[in-house]
Chains A and B, each alone.
Chain A
Amino acid sequence: MSKIILPKRLEKYRYIGKNTIRHDGIAKVTGKLKYAYDIYLPGMLYGRILKSPYPHARVKKIDTSEAEKMGAVVVTFKDVPRKKFNIRLVSVDEVNYKDWEVLTDHPKFVGEYIAAVAAETEELAQKALEAIKIEWEVYEPLLDPLESMTPGKPKIHDKILFGQREVEVKNNIACTKEYVEGDPDRAFKEADIVIERVFKTNRRYHMQLEPKVAVVRPEPDGGVTIWTTTQTIHNTKILVSQVFDIPMSKVNVIKLPIGGSFGSSIQTNLVVLVAVALALKARRPVRIALTREEDILDHHSYQMIFKVRVAAKKDGTIIAGELENIMDIGAHQIQAYPLLGTALGWFVSLYKWKNIRYKGIAVYTNKTPSCAFRGYGNPQVTWAVETVIDELAEKLGIDPLELRLKNYVGRGDIFWGQGPTVKSVIRSDGVPELIRKGAELIGWDKRPKPGSQKGRYRRGIGVARGFHTSGAGGPLSGEVIDYTGAIIKVNEDGTIDYITALQDHGGGTLDAHAKIIAEELGVPLKSINIVWADTRTTLYDVCTHASRGVYVGGEAARRAARIVKQKLLEYAARILGDIATPEGLRIEPDEELGQGVIYVEGSPEKRITVGEVARIAWQRNWGSIAAAVSYRSYAAPPAFTVYFVEVEVDTETGIVRPVRVVAGADIGTVVNPDLAAGQIHGGFAQGWGMATLEDLPYDPETGELMNRGFITDYKVVTAPDMPKLDDFIVIFADTEEPTGPLGAKGIGEAAKNPVAAAVANAIYNAIGVRFYELPITPEKILKALKEKGEIKE
């Protein structure tokens, strides 16, 4: 069975570091859990959206009369507030670029929303949609970012907003960022060796299993209630309030489990705003559920073109690094501007370059808007940098592991958790341990010489390391919001309600919170109830993104638990009488009673249950035992990951298969071992897809996706593509993060970030060929082998 290696240190905890049944598990295995896609309301209408068939066009005339005659409720760009906004509200307003509209007469990609209808059945809605007549003016699309940014090309956007200020878009450049540190020119002159490479990453689709959906019910007070696929119920509330001028208190967004997301609902998916517009007009609840074909037009990853230049001394000391980053962001900005800074942050946090130059350019194209996709640019940057580092090691004749250990950014160094405005000092670092253990388990010393093999099947071992941030906090407040909130209250039977807006995407984030609360309080895990939540009953939480769920949300929960504990002890001291100080009291879980028991240290017969304390406090009018905590972290520590991957290349078919994986992760205290390992497994699968399978080419003539929206043509990893259970080992480092809840850090994105690089380095080790364009498909491998003269036509 697949192995998980855990540090011994975890044994001191009761619930932390133990596998438990997840709180929503039974509802999930019995099919009873309701996701947003499962919400159907009485009296609701079905909505369908009319999308642009053209990559760039203008609506000259629109005629909806036929649709209305059929009894459908119709909204077009004429019926919605004509204001520009950004669907993502994670950055502070001053640095938010706004170029979105709810519905538009000027579509800029195939699939952009023009109008929408609602009717009694989905079938009727579809027929009504088809009855809408539009006269178009069609323009030539710009699909290549390098072409799009050349002066003289058609304008995709003209004027957009930056904060509250109007700005003009020039040469389709959405935004830029530059940065220089030290004297890179001098360093490159003084270098013994310089490597320069150009990389092109793939455009990918999240392929979260649940397509985007919104169900909106208009309320008698003029407000709306919303059920939707989202990573942030509060930002959804704020955006709906801003766009439709509804007071925030009248917009209620219900928290529901989400069927995967991976970044695709950090922003409020536009379908929510369309459903609100329809529901307000129809005065009936409206459900719009995207089909898979529609969902694949809604969100993609950022495709990046890099130029990387690295300078080093003969002894392996790196002395300079340069990165040029041209990002294809598609037709709208979601987080292009913060990502320009964050991509720089990933770059500077990988190695101690000492002298740095960065230039980032985000370019509009007539394609689906790009958004974060598990790693937020980090998998792309890490693939490029870790390829170059591997080449550098080979050129210098230094072991690639040694070169990495010599130059990586580790304990005591500064980490840029979310670009230049979010920096903090690294306090925990398991990289040396993970490199040492991983090398031993994979058999690093026995790996072949690159390109030395003959025969049909060739195996190779590759390594790459990386990290991801845990949240977006820091000592300065920065441009990224990172607040969360937790409410804990003790019931009169000793059970405990935990209320948070923070979303769990399935990684077990909220189970981790429950364990942290149980551990901190000293009550049974099963006494913690994770409460149904909505925006009205919760404190603000920015979003589950940036691998912050356990690190930031878990700490808010721990702090609330600590306050509750103090109150419990204080009241218990009053009740028990004769107690010198509450500090002399202890709480222990009693699994049989299903609640905590408070007792006097050294005199265990003097005891009272948590429930009894709550009940007496309530009877004697001392008040409910509860706490509400708002929290923003003062650090954003990196969770480090090191991947060793062995691949086998079939030189006849070009097909690569993963043979063995040794994945090392430094996530501080491991709260849910099986689920944390699950993050690694899933991260590897997505990274493998990025490295070898996934791509979204566009037809240069029509500006349409060549995959035509069918997942038949968008290949993701399936079960037979993964290594055998015995050949997938996960190692957790023995570290503890001082700023994290009971020592924990994040995991979700770190689990994926170095995978593509490790796979590419392993392919090089097997066949002696480097690839600078993802995905590394069988066709590319066969072509390269032919060019090397290793196989015949």
Chain B
Amino acid sequence: MERRIRFRLNGEWVEVTVKPNELLLNVLREKFGLTGPKYACGIGECGACTVLVDGEPVLACLTLAVDVDGRDVVTIEGLARDGELHPLQKAFLEHGAIQCGYCIPGFIMVAKRLLEENPYPSEEEIREYIRGNICRCTGYVNIVKAIKAAAESLRAGSSSHT
């Protein structure tokens, strides 16, 4: 049975008809053209599809679209505000943390939640928090560096982002 659902997507309320078995990842990518969340494994092993649902990182490849009815969904596309990049996005750019870039949306979404939970993460805590995200290019070195730097700049309050 198809169902009409309504949810907040990157700040705007949207409506869409979905099948009960339709995955959030496919709905975002194919019905809303938001291809920032990536498919890379489809079984919750790589983190490339991570989005925030009510502020919590969620694997869109394992989430049914009907489950976000009435909730708040943020994808990587919704992170920059009024053309201003989030400090995490800036830090990833400035620290050479991006290579092919395919894994990066997932890392940034997970790191966003980490820095909300823990504004003073140690290097070890960062590594533990992102252990569910796979990057085959960077060896995680510059990614960890960028997350550390973003934590600092967020603490310095240089941004209105939360």
Q: B4 in the interface, Cβ–Cβ < 8 Å? A: no
How far, in angstroms, from A210 to B36 measured CA to CA in the complex?
Answer: 13
**Of A175-183, A471-479, A673-681, the one with at least 4 CB within 8 A of chain B:** A673-681
> Is A728 in the interface zone, CB < 8 Å from B?
yes
A40 within 8 A of partner (CB): yes
Per DSSP, are chain A's interface residues mostly helix, strand or loop, or mixed? loop
A681 touches B142 (CB 8 A): yes
Give the residues in chain A near B132, CB-CB below 8 Å: 718
Tell me how far the C-beta of A137 lies from the nearest C-beta in chain B, rounded to whole angstroms: 33
Are B75's CB and A21's CB within 8 A?
A: no
Bound CA–CA A508/B96 (angstroms): 10
B79, B127, B141: the one contacting A728 at CB < 8 Å is B141
Residue of A261, A716, A728 touching B134 (CB-CB under 8 A): A716
Query: Once bound together, how far apart are the Cα atoms of A32 and B80, in whole Å?
Result: 12
Whether the pair A716, B136 counts as a contact (CB closer than 8 A) is yes
Contact pick for A292, options B35, B37, B43, B123, CB 8 Å: B43
Residue pair B139, A720 in contact (C-beta under 8 Å): no
Contact flags B91-118 to A (C-beta < 8 A → 1, else 0): 0111110111111110010000000000
On whether the beta carbons of A725 and B96 are closer than 8 Å, the reply is no
Nearest B-chain residue to A374, judged by Cβ: B136
List chain A residues, Cβ under 8 A from B38.
35, 37, 209-210, 259
Closest A residue by C-beta to B76:
A31
Separation of A37 and B131 alpha carbons in the complex (Å): 24
Q: Which A31-49 residues have a C-beta within 8 angstroms of B?
A: 31-35, 37-38, 40
Whether A2 pairs with B80 at a CB distance below 8 angstroms is no
Which residues 110-162 in B have Cβ within 8 Å of A in the complex?
123-124, 126-128, 130-145, 148
Pair A506/B98 contact, Cβ less than 8 Å: yes
Contact B100 A258 (CB under 8 A): yes
Q: Is the CB–CB distance between B99 and A682 below 8 Å?
A: yes
Known contacts A292-B41, A728-B141: does B101 contact A24 (CB below 8 Å)? yes
Q: How far is the CA of A347 from the CA of B145 in the complex (A)?
A: 37
CB pair B35–A38 under 8 Å, yes or no, is yes
CB-CB contacts of A486-528 with B at 8 A, as 1s and 0s?
Answer: 0000000000000000000111100000000000000000000
Residues facing A in B58-112 (CB within 8 A) are 75-77, 79-80, 85, 89, 92-96, 98-105, 108
Interface residue? B39 (CB, 8 A): yes
CA distance A420 to B103 in the complex (A): 39
In the complex, which of the residues A261, A678, A722, A728 has the most CB atoms of chain B within 10 Å of its own CB atom?
A678
A195 at the interface (CB under 8 A from B): no
On whether the beta carbons of A682 and B137 are closer than 8 Å, the reply is: yes
A34 vs B29: C-alpha distance when bound (angstroms): 11
Decide if A681 touches B40 in the complex (CB within 8 Å): no
Contact of B45 among A32, A677, A685, A711 (CB under 8 A): A711
A580 contacts the other chain (CB 8 A): no
In the complex the two chains form, is A209's CB within 8 Å of B135's CB? yes
Q: Which of A662-702 contact B (CB under 8 A)?
A: 672, 674-675, 677-678, 681-686
B130 neighbours in A (Cβ, 8 Å): 719
B residues less than 8 Å from A31 (CB atoms): 34-37, 75-77, 105
How far does the Cβ of B138 sit from chain A's closest Cβ, in whole Å? 5
Interface size on B, residues (CB 8 A): 58
Q: Which residues in A have their C-beta under 8 angstroms from that of B135?
A: 209
CA distance A358 to B124 in the complex (A): 47
B106 to chain A minimum Cβ distance, whole angstroms, is 9
CA distance A260 to B102 in the complex (A): 8
What chain A residues lie within 8 Å of B127 (beta carbons)? Answer: 719-720, 722
Find chain A residues with CB under 8 A from B126 CB: 719
**Cβ-based interface call for B24 (8 A):** no
> What residues on B are CB-neighbors of A719 within 8 Å?
126-128, 130-131, 133, 140, 143-144
Query: Known interface pairs A2-B141, A24-B101, A259-B102. Does A678 touch B96 (Cβ–Cβ under 8 Å)?
Result: yes
Q: Which residues of A contact B104 (CB under 8 A)?
A: 28-29
Q: How far is the CA of A674 from the CA of B141 in the complex (A)?
A: 11
Distance between A256 CB and nearest chain B CB, rounded to angstroms: 12
The residue among B42, B124, B141, B142 with the most chain A CB atoms within 10 A of its own CB is: B141
A21 near B94 with CB under 8 A, answer: yes
Q: Which of B75, B94, B105, B140 is in CB contact (< 8 Å) with A722?
A: B140
Whether the pair B101, A259 counts as a contact (CB closer than 8 A) is yes
CB of A545 to closest CB in B, whole Å: 15
Contact B100 A259 (CB under 8 A): yes
Given A32-B36, A678-B141; A718-B131 close (CB under 8 Å): yes
B136 touches A207 (CB 8 A): yes
A453 proximal to B (CB < 8 A): no
Q: Is A19 an interface residue (CB 8 A)?
A: yes
Chain B residue nearest to A714 (CB atoms) is: B45
The 8 A-B residue pairs with the shortest CB-CB distance in the complex, in nearest-first order: A31-B36, A674-B96, A259-B102, A506-B100, A31-B76, A685-B139, A681-B139, A28-B101
Chain A residues in the interface with B (C-beta under 8 A): 1-2, 19, 21-22, 24-26, 28-35, 37-38, 40, 206-211, 257-262, 289, 291-292, 505-508, 672, 674-675, 677-678, 681-686, 710-712, 716-720, 722, 724-725, 728
- Pick 6 A–B contacts, CB within 8 A, sort by A: A31-B34, A686-B136, A711-B41, A711-B134, A718-B131, A719-B128
